């Protein structure tokens, strides 16, 4: 029941030309990821709930499908990156979903940040139908997606990971196999936990600099190169300083991720006070209408103290 992917002579390696690719979810992240596949001469069948978000891709050669079912019937290797676990449930298990209509020996790769439990369910149900499944959530935001430098954390069968690695390399660089089904999602929770409290520190450092009468851009030059340096500090502070709160990653999706992490931690009897605080702060911003802004909009939390 294995899909054997032989090398394809292009920049990234690749899959055999007879293997077609499906991609469901062409939002902030997915749009760039599909474009990378197209740029490397892959045939890509796409579906998105809002077709208008996929028009550029269609013009560039992607083939539009009317449902996940249509993608499943056309493609051998299918990526999904949607919003919430309930979206994943619908895409995979709905009447027009991937699992009811997937082809034998096809490979499904869910790149949504979802629950480890759901990842295991997809894996087990796929196995019953001769379908291989990986959970492969990503980190790097819109910048990583555009540049093809995403970090990808993968759970599932290691041989399937090895077989599919050349194509995932089209849009990722730091691609690591984490273990059995669900391990990719657990690793993404570690990632989100680290980001959540780091974003608080980044914003607190920025508001402190302003209160102290410092030039935040000059401060950034010093602290980003030292022990305080982080991806969020280097990439989000410039956006904050320019008033750019557009989403590389939506606040509403980050809240979803933090809820998943806290629920998983509770199952393990593990307290995560820093994460709980970050979730509370972001929820307050969401209540104020900031849920569709990027996570860097956390800086607005301090507006109430001015």
Strand partners, 45: 22, 63
The closest of 21, 16, 46, 12 to 31, measured between CA atoms, is 46
- Residue 189 host element (H or E): helix 183-211
Residue 77 near residue 164 (C-beta atoms within 8 A): yes
- Residue 240 CA, distance from chain mean position: 22
Q: Where are the domains of the chain?
A: 21-181, 187-305
User: What pLDDT digit, counting tens, does each position of 152-166 carry?
Assistant: 999 999 999 999 999
Map residue 298 onto helix, strand or coil: helix
pLDDT above 70 for 261:
yes
pLDDT, tens digit (0-9, with 9 covering 90-100), for 144-202: 999 999 999 999 999 999 999 999 999 999 999 999 999 999 999 999 999 999 999 99
Name the pLDDT band for 142 (thresholds 50, 70, 90). confident
| Apex 43 CA angle, 79 and 125, nearest 5 | 30
DSSP class of residue 75? Answer: -
Domains 21-181 and 187-305 share a fold: no
Query: Does the annotation mark 51 as catalytic?
Result: no
pLDDT digits (tens, 9 = 90+) for 8-28: 333 333 344 457 999 999 998
Q: What value, to the nearest 5°, has the Cα angle with vertex 286 and ends 34 and 268? A: 80
Domain 187-305 = CATH 1.10.1040.10: yes
Fold of 21-181: Rossmann fold (3.40.50)
135, 119 contact by CB (below 8 A): yes
Enumerate residues 6+ apart whose C-beta is below 8 A from 26: 34, 46, 48, 53, 54, 57
Cα-based distances in Å from 186 to 132, 174, 252:
19, 17, 20
What SS3 state is found at 143? Answer: helix
CA distances (Å), origin 140, targets 70, 231, 248: 30, 9, 9
Query: Is 6's pLDDT higher than 70?
Result: no
Q: How far apart are CA 55 and CA 35, in angstroms?
A: 12
Q: Which of 31, 121, 188, 279 is the catalytic position?
A: 188
Q: What is the torsional sign of CA 169, 175, 179, 181?
A: negative
- CA dihedral for 43, 44, 45, 51, sign (positive or negative): negative
pLDDT top residue among 295 and 5? 295
Which residues contact residue 284 at a Cβ distance below 8 angstroms, ignoring those fewer than 6 apart? 301
Q: Which helix (H) or strand (E) holds 152?
A: strand 150-155
pLDDT tens column, 62-88: 999 999 999 999 999 999 999 999 999
């Amino acid at each position: 029941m294995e899909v054997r992917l032989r090398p394809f002579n292009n920049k990234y390696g690749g899959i055999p030309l007879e293997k077609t690719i499906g991609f469901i979810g062409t939002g902030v992240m997915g749009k760039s990821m599909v474009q990378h596949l197209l740029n490397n001469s892959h045939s890509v069948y796409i579906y998105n709930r809002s077709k208008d978000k996929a028009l550029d891709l269609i013009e560039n050669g992607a083939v539009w499908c009317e449902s996940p079912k249509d993608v499943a019937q056309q493609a051998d290797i299918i990526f999904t990156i949607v919003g919430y676990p309930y979206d994943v449930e619908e895409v995979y298990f709905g009447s027009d979903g991937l699992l009811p209509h997937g082809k034998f020996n096809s490979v499904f790769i869910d790149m949504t940040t979802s629950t480890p439990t759901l990842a295991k369910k997809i894996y087990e149900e796929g196995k019953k139908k001769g379908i291989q499944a990986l959970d492969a959530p990503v980190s790097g935001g819109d910048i990583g997606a555009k540049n093809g430098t995403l970090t990808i954390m993968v759970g599932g069968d290691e041989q399937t990971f090895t077989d599919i690695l050349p194509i995932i390399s089209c849009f990722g660089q730091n691609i690591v196999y984490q273990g059995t089904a669900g391990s990719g999602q657990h690793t993404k929770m570690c990632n989100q936990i680290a980001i959540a409290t780091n974003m608080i520190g980044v914003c607190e450092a920025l508001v402190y600099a302003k209160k102290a009468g410092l030039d935040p851009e000059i401060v950034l030059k010093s602290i980003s190169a030292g022990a305080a340096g982080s991806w969020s500090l280097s990439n989000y502070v410039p956006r904050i300083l320019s008033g750019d709160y557009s989403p590389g990653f939506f606040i509403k999706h980050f809240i979803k991720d933090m809820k998943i992490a806290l629920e998983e931690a509770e199952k393990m009897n593990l307290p995560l006070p820093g994460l709980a605080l970050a979730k509370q702060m972001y929820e307050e911003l969401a209540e104020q209408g900031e849920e569709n802004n990027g996570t860097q909009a956390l800086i607005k939390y301090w507006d109430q103290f001015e």
